[in-house]
Amino acid sequence: MKKHKGKIQMGIVIGIFSVIIIACLISIFSRLYAENKETEEFRQLAEIVTEETTDATIEETIKKLHLLKVSDSDNEVQTEQPMYYTTDYQPHSISELTSMNSDCFGWISIKGTNINYPVMHTPDNPQIYLNRNFYCEYSFSGVPFLDGRCSADSTNLIIYGHHMNNGTMFSDLCNYTSSSYRDEHKAVVLETKDGVSAYTVFAVLKVKSDDEWYRFTSALTKNRYNSMVEYAKEKSIYETGITPKYGQQILTLSTCYGYNQDDRILVLAVQN
């Protein structure tokens, strides 16, 4: 009798564990499916708003729209003119994006990475796109979004994005811990309704979510600007030879890093 009772109890335990395992597997595969679906939605969105060129104008378009000048030296330590190189990018129709969703601020891309997404901006509800897609529906991946305190002319544009396990969104920012990766992907392109700007990565920081840099969005004085640039360069995990000058806009890309909830990686770029 006791043996029979023990078998029943063992069967119940095995059944419970089986249900838990099945539920976990369903959850994992459901999330993978959702993430892949969201990746495809972004691809389709990019396809919709990518500006097309015709054979007759493609050469002129490439020269004027697809190539941006990017600085490759530090003006303070160079006696000659700074060296420049060009980076190509695929232009997107910002007007079409904003007509689809007025919360859209622009489009950010880094050649050779998975970072190629719209950027949202909702000052009244800054983090609404943390878990919503471009169409404002629930989403694991969310959409990169501009800090609610920022505007197009802010000294420091801070853009947040998730670090997704499938390598999408801002996951590639973690690769910038390697200086050689930075050298190969130092140009960041931001398209907005005001035009297209190229930024060059000048510092990479590992910080906490309450780091001083997050409080830097505007610089009313030259001293404040220079002190924050010095702060960033001192905390950078390697030297790039580039020092932003007062008046140059800074672009900060932020995502989670490591296993602690408060760990962040910041990739800082200066406008050319």
Residue 48 — very low, low, confident or very high, per pLDDT cuts 50/70/90?
confident
**Domains of the chain, start order:** 58-271 (2.40.260.10)
Rounded Cα distance between 6 and 170, Å, is: 52
What's residue 250's pLDDT? 98
- Reading phi first (left if > 0) and then psi (alpha if -120 to 50, else beta), residue 245 is in beta
Q: Encode pLDDT of 227-255 as tens digits.
A: 999 999 999 999 999 999 999 999 999 99
Element (H, E) at 264: strand 263-271
- Provide φ and ψ at 84, rounded to 5°: -130, 150
Q: What is the residue-wise DSSP string for 184-219?
A: HS-EEEEEETTEEEEEEEEEEEEEETT-GGGG-S--
Question: Which of 253, 247, 162, 166 lies closest to 202, judged by CA?
Answer: 253
Mean pLDDT (whole number) for 138-157: 96
Q: What is the pTM of this model?
A: 0.80
Dihedral (Cα; 180, 181, 184, 189), 10-degree rounding: -140
pLDDT at residue 194 is higher than 80: yes
